[in-house]
């Protein structure tokens, strides 16, 4: 596993390495339309992370400026807004529009977000459906681990649909999710918890 000191320095660290990794994947797509769809999804994640609403036109434009800067000003798409050039950004950088809203799906983690992005960028229909199903399975495992309880498959499919901005739709006919049970609490953990309660 590479250490952060050996990884490429992030242009805007506040967005995290997962966003940068997604952007790198996006830039590698050969289809111009797919690159645009991918970029739009990344900006939606950036908006969610910083608490920017989709109708906040001014701050959404800032996010597009940041995305372009994070690509070293090399992202080749038909931008939906006018982005600032490298020279403009250098002399008058935008601030990150943080609103500090807690993400709705933080229990799934950045890994799931990346899997969703990869699935959406897959052009082969069969391979895409396979990757979508694998993503849903991992989401169910993450949900059960986080909440320490069972979850209905419909909930997982609904969350996946929303996290992909409506671009991924699965149901029981497309993807059979396995039964996942929460990990049992170890005796050592129970004993430690009991000791803490006795000391109170």
Those residues of the chain that have pLDDT short of 50 are 1-5, 99-102, 189
Q: Computed from CA positions of residues 100, 104, 106, 112, in that sequence, does the dihedral angle turn out positive or negative?
A: negative
Task: Answer yes or no: are the C-beta atoms of 95 and 50 closer than 8 Å.
Answer: no
Structure confidence at residue 56 (pLDDT): 84
pTM exceeds cut of 0.75:
no
CA neighbours closer than 13 Å in the CB half-sphere of residue 196: 6
pLDDT digits 0-9 by tens, 135-177 = 999 999 999 988 878 899 999 999 998 888 788 999 998 899 9
Pull the structure tokens for residue 98.
């943080």
Burial label for 20, CB within 10 Å (0-12, 13-18, 19+), is: buried
Q: Computed from CA positions of residues 23, 24, 25, 27, in that sequence, does the dihedral angle turn out positive or negative?
A: positive
Structure confidence at residue 80 (pLDDT): 95
Cβ neighbors of 177 (< 8 A, separation 6 or more) are 136, 137, 140, 153, 156
**What are the backbone angles phi and psi of residue 25, rounded to the nearest 5°?**
-65, -45
Domain boundaries, the chain: 4-91, 104-191
Structure confidence at residue 52 (pLDDT): 81
Structure confidence at residue 5 (pLDDT): 47
Structure confidence at residue 16 (pLDDT): 83
């Amino acid at each position: 596993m590479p250490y952060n000191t050996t990884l490429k320095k992030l242009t805007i660290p506040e967005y995290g390495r997962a966003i940068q990794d997604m952007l790198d994947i996006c830039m590698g797509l050969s289809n111009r339309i797919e690159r645009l769809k991918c970029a739009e999804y990344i900006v939606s994640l950036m908006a969610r992370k910083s608490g920017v609403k989709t109708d906040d036109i001014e701050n959404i434009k800032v996010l597009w400026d940041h995305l372009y800067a994070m690509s070293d000003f090399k992202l080749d798409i038909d931008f939906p807004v006018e982005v600032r050039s490298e020279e403009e950004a250098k002399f008058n950088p935008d601030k990150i529009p943080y609103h500090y809203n807690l993400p709705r799906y933080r229990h799934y983690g950045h890994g799931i977000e990346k899997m969703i992005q990869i699935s959406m960028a897959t052009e082969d229909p069969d391979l895409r459906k396979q990757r979508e199903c694998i993503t849903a399975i991992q989401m169910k495992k993450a949900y059960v681990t986080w909440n320490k309880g069972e979850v209905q498959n419909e909930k997982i499919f609904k969350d996946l649909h929303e996290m992909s901005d409506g671009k991924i739709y699965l149901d029981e006919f497309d993807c059979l999710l396995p039964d996942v049970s929460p990990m049992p609490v170890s005796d050592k953990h129970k004993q430690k918890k009991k000791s803490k309660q006795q000391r109170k």
